[in-house]
Amino acid sequence: MQSPTPGAPQGAPTDTRVHALDHLRALAMLMGVVFHAALAYSPLVQPIWPGADRQNWWGVDAAIWLPHLIRMPLFFLVAGFFTAWLLAQRGGAGLARQRVRRILLPFLLAWPLVHVATSFSTQWAMQYVDHPAPLLVLFRQLMAMPDPPSLPLSTGHLWFLYYLLLFSLLLWGARSLDWDRFLGKWLDAGPAVVSLSLPLLLWPGFMLTGAPHPAPEGLLPQFWAMLIYGPFFALGLGLHGRLHWLAPLQRCFWPGVLLCLGLYALFLLRLAEGATLTSTPWWWAAIEALIAGWGSLLALLAGLRWMQHANALMRYLAASSYWTYLWHLPILLTLQYLLMDHNWAWPLKFALCLSATLAICLLSYEWLVRRTALRRYVG
């Protein structure tokens, strides 16, 4: 993504903290790949994940929802930081150009391709897989009807690009109206105030949607997604030039981790009774808000503490993470469809799908992007 990698524009800070954030963002992206790979073996999403396998294990559910609550908030947090960084470096017009080049264009090109690839492999799976996921069975039945309903258009897993563009637009509007001073006031209130107010800001968003919260794939912007991811983006914007502000929070790191794990246990207890679809009870939403808010801050602290020293592998993964995340889903689903009929142990299937997906993505990155013109857009 837009990062101060070697060959970065002049004026790029050699500040290792910025590198740490870049790596954090890459980690969040890659965690998404792991998450989607694991979804096939989660009992909770078995009815709705097209690649759901016959085998599943409750332990998967116990493990994956914590990263799910943290990874996209963390992504938007870091994205906000880099947006402010770009704004300081290149001004409003430069930021707009960069958004078009690295977000709008890849979105417009990848979206139809991903959509076509996913429908193609899903239709193949509907026809030929002997042990299809419940969702595939449902699709089969719908297609068999005389007047099959058409699926509404969705942005799929590329919703994060759509919302990044939306937030950039909102940022432009807020700056034009001079509202960005409120952000400064919020952050100047200090880490304690922000840490306590952040979950409060997230709370309404979590209440307005189901739990665990879905991907906001619709073409129309969703209030709940803007209410959840917006504050993270704003916080990231404000943290630019204020990274030292996080220092006092380092003391709370380990207690914070323990607290989040405890909250997560409560979350899981409720989850055992079943997920919610369109809205969530206030207390459960509060737990989610706390985990998301504090968990992301803790992840940020961890990254700043331990990821400042880049090695070549981290840099490579960071540079390739955008490309990988763009294409991983159709590839992953195809592999999941292919392995559906095999009787191997699910950890083996999981490892196979994950490593094959990553391999294909990284190889294609190496051949198609790293040394070509595409690097400016998705490298």
Partner 1 sequence: MSQELNMPLIRLLVVKDWQLFQKQLAALVLAGIVALALLGLAKPWSFYLGSLLLIVVLVAAACFAIGTSLLTERKEQTLAFVMSLPVSPLDMTVSKLAGNLITFGVPFLVLLLGTLLVILGTPLPDGLLTMAILLFGHVLLAYCLSLTVAMQVESEGWNLFVMITSMVLINPFIMLLGQIDSIREPARGNDIVWSTPALAILAAQILLSLAALGYILWRHRRRAAFY
List residues binding partner 1 (CB under 8 A).
152-153, 166, 169-170, 172-177, 218-223, 226
| 191 versus 218: smaller Cβ distance to partner 1 | 218
Min CB(150)–partner 1 separation in Å: 9
- Which is closer to partner 1, CB of 278 or CB of 343? 278
Distance CA 77, CA 296 (A): 8
C-alpha pair distances (Å), 77 with each of 28, 144, 179, 253, 311: 11, 45, 19, 18, 23
User: Minimum distance between the CB of residue 113 and partner 1, rounded to whole angstroms?
Assistant: 18
Main-chain phi, psi angles of 36, to 5 degrees: -65, -35
In this structure, are residues 352 and 331 in contact, taking their beta carbons and an 8 Å threshold? no
Which of 181/309 has CB closer to partner 1? 181
Cα distance between residue 256 and residue 73, in whole Å: 17
Contact 307, 23 (CB under 8 A): yes
- Specify the residue, 110 or 239, whose C-beta has the smaller distance to partner 1: 110
CB 225 to partner 1: min, Å: 9
At residue 55's C-alpha, the angle toward residues 54 and 61, to 5°, is: 120
**Judged by CB, which is closer to partner 1: 172, or 346?**
172
Minimum separation from the CB atom of position 174 to partner 1 (A):
8
| Smaller CB separation from partner 1, 9 or 173 | 173
Smallest gap from Cβ 285 to partner 1, in A, equals 17
Distance, in Å, from the CA atom of 340 to the CA atom of 130, rounded to the nearest integer, reads: 8
Query: How many of the other CB atoms lie within 10 Å of CB of 51?
Result: 28
Q: How far is the CB of 177 from partner 1 (least distance, A)?
A: 5
